[in-house]
Amino acid sequence: MTPRYSRITGTGSHLPPRRVTNDDLVAELAGRGVETSNEWIVERTGIRARHFAAPDVAASDLALPAAQAAMQAAGVQPADIDLIVVATSTPDMVFPSTAAILQHKLGIAGCPAFDVQAVCSGFVYALAVADALIANGTARRALVIGAEVFSRILDFNDRTTCVLFGDGAGAVVLEASDAPGILATDLHADGRHVGILCVPGHVSGGQVLGEPLLKMDGQAVFKLAVGVLDKAARAVLAKAGKTEADIDWLIPHQANIRIMQGTARKLHLPLEKVVVTVQDHGNTSAASIPLALDHGVRSGQVKPGQTVLLEGVGGGFTWGAVLLKM
């Protein structure tokens, strides 16, 4: 049997129109009695702005234009899509899935549609799942999307977390191919670290139990992130029979410029080979990698035929990498 591969044929992204600069956020927080500054945020994170969705905008609303842009880039119609995978930690509803809601908004019916919840590693997980389903013949043309409205779960009395995150969506069309596009994937999780990054609340009997806002031990996350990202990168390169020298672009989860710089150093990659959007988007969780990928493609940085390493780390504690040829 001839091996079946998958390849990204189109990318797309969408940001809500409200852009919140550090100075905007500093002013808003001051009204709450929370002190911070543009300099403090930039020095620790590299973030200068982020986008926040309007109160009536859900994750599927952000996913829709991102998906449409990716389909347009791939030259396909909604009816051509036979799989939808949405990575999100901020779904429209408890159920049905945001993917099912998006499927309806796209005017598609019948194909499998489901969400993947791996927080900031979500897009890497979703891409690996879609690749496997294309490889086994379940699908031929998939929409893989990361979409988040993290502004809904932020504690704006905690300056160590509320300055980090933003909203947005990124998407790719992944199609069956005779030649490898996805070269290798590597996924991991370690539930022992659940407590260092979580939203420890849930709905029961119509009420929210626990704390429905994001909690993070920043130092613990940083310490774990750099180490596991390096291991995942080396593992996925080994699976593909590649080395660091084969990487044209590193597109990491856009959480913190220091983590990205540390990862690049360990891989002996110059920062000129890293696609960085964290300064404009903040941490958009599962949306950050596809947002950065679309930016790289549309800016002319990432070109057909180049080898790209995607990697993410998030609550769970989850992490993973995908090596692909554009």
Report yes or no: 144 and 261 within 8 Å, Cβ to Cβ.
Answer: no
Q: Which are the contacts of 254, defined by CB distance < 8 A and separation ≥ 6? A: 260, 276, 277, 278, 281, 282, 283, 284, 288, 289, 291, 292
If one counts every other C-beta atom within 10 angstroms of the C-beta of residue 222, the result is 15
Of 120, 162, 193, 281, the catalytic one is 120
- Give the tokens for residue 254: 């856009």
Cα–Cα distance, 146 to 288 (Å, whole number): 8
Catalytic site includes residue 283: yes
Task: Choose, from 193, 281, 283, 295, the residue flagged as catalytic.
Answer: 283
> How far is the C-alpha of 299 from the C-alpha of 293, rounded, in Å?
10
Catalytic member of 14, 51, 193, 253 = 253
Long-range contact list for 90-99, CB < 8 A, 24+ apart? Answer: 90/59, 90/147, 90/148, 90/149, 90/150, 90/152, 90/153, 90/285, 91/59, 91/115, 92/58, 92/59, 92/60, 94/203, 98/58, 98/59, 98/60, 98/63, 98/147, 99/145
Q: Judge whether 268 counts as a catalytic residue.
A: no
Token digits of residue 72: 């347009």
Find the angle CA(253)-CA(121)-CA(250) to the nearest 5 degrees: 35
Q: What are the tokens at 319?
A: 């992490």
The reply to whether 162 belongs to the active site is no
Residue 232 DSSP label: H
Q: Catalogue the active-site residues.
A: 120, 253, 283
